[in-house]
Each structure stands twice: as structure tokens, then as C-alpha cells.
Amino acid sequence: MLQSALMLKWDDEVSSIVGITIRKIDGGFELCQPALIGKLCSLDASNITASQPLPSMELVSGKAKTIDKEYLSRIGMLLYVAQATRPDIMYAVNFLACFSMNTTDRHWLALNHLINYVRGTSTKSLILRPNRGQDVLQVFVDANWGGEGSRSQHGYVGLLWGAPIMWNSKRQTCIASSTCQAEYMAMSFASKACLWISQGLIGVAGHFAPTLLSDNKAAVQIAGDSGSRKNSRHIRREFHLTNELVATNQIRI
């Protein structure tokens, strides 16, 4: 059908797509982005290949509303790398992106430190080697509490038959009054991702309930309707999605 409208060239041995290098390995595939990482690293003349841990420092928005195009450009390249093949830098990139409109020297220091880390690990690849013996879809979710503006940062990673296929990290839009609330709201975002993936896999895996894993017992109890409702009445309705999905057996926790 597509060939009737578009000029298509089919190739059984795909080697790259939208800047992502694809290599076939035993039982799966290996994905990396050497060209984009090389371009990103060429913008920094330091040639540092070993990224040492930074001293503990707090990053806050600058007082002046400024737009640093160079900062935005490097964040944009890092975001594509993080979203496509490098889940290990997703949290750091999204956190630094929060300061795109209020950049200071401290943000540049942290950004260059991250680029040096990417340079030093440029040979690392994302391995997709599914194992049908594992659960169809497992999603691990976590969140901190507080942060700049008292807003927490959450993140999740989803494994399809043990292979990482989705991940994200984002600053929450409202203030959580406790660690439990921050984790519970994070579960809501992860639940939406679970629904999207599970619906797309119906033709391959049939109907199944993804497994959502959180390390916060109180949040898990609320999601499973066995926790204290008194302490969660103030949570906005939209974040109770996980509770409904668990009750209707669309998600397991």
C-alpha cells in the first residue's frame, strides 16, 4: 500500500535509521549514535575523556531571563541521544534542560561535565536482546522529593521481555507534600506509558497486564486501594489513574 504512494526501498539488512546505527548481534540488536556523539564532543575543545564526579553543588535558575542558543543546541543533541540509545543520561539531560531559559556558568559546568561523560562512554551501546521467559512488560518507576521550586523529578524505564524499550525523566508539574505523593504521581505517568505500549503490543503478545514496580510501599498501597485514603484526598484526580488501572486488572503492581 505504501509503495503505491511513496518511492520505497526495502533492505533486509538495516544498518542505520535517523542517525542511529543498528548492528545485529546474537539474539538481538545493538544500537548506538557515534556520529551525533562525535559532533557533540567536537564542540568542546577540552578533549577530556574521563569524567570525574563533581563536588556536590546545587543548580538553581539564574535571575535574568536569558536564552543561550549554544546551551539549547547542546541540550537538544543530548536529548536525542538520551531518548534514542542512552537511558543512563536521561535524568541528567532533562534536569539540565529545565534551566534553558536561566542559564548560568554553573549550568555550563554541569553540561560540559555531562558531555565529557558521554565522550568517555561513546563506545557504549544499547543492547536489545529480548527473553520470552521474562514478563512481557515491566516498568520500574522512581521519584525524588523536592528540588528547585519544591518540585520533584520522576523517571521510569520499561523492559519488553527484559529489553529496555522506553524511558523518561521529567520534573513534576505540581508540588508533592510527601515522598509518597511524589512516587504516586510518578506511577501515574508510568501507567500512561504502560497503556500505550500494551495497546500497541496486542497483535504480538495479546492482552496482558504490565507490571509496575515502585520502591515506595505507601504509594503502592494507595495504588492498590489498600492504603490510607485520608492522606491522599488532596492529590489531584488525574494522578489516580494507576488506582483505576489496578482495580480493573489492566496493570499489576
In the chain, where the domains are located? 16-126, 131-247
Q: 534514542: which residue's cell?
A: 84
pLDDT by residue (tens digit) across 198-218? 888 888 778 888 999 999 898
Give the CATH class of 131-247: alpha beta
Q: Which helix (H) or strand (E) holds 23?
A: strand 20-25
Q: Which helix (H) or strand (E) holds 219?
A: helix 217-223
The per-residue pLDDT for 132 is 86
DSSP 156: E
Q: What is the mean pLDDT of the chain?
A: 85
Helices and strands (H, E) in the chain, number of each type:
9, 8
pLDDT by residue (tens digit) across 15-44? 888 889 999 999 999 999 999 999 988 876
Task: With a cut of 70, say whether residue 229 has pLDDT above it.
Answer: no
At a CB cut-off of 8 Å and minimum separation 6, what does 13 contact?
24
Neighbours of 220 (CB within 10 A): 21
Distances (CA, A) of 72 to 102, 130, 185: 11, 35, 28
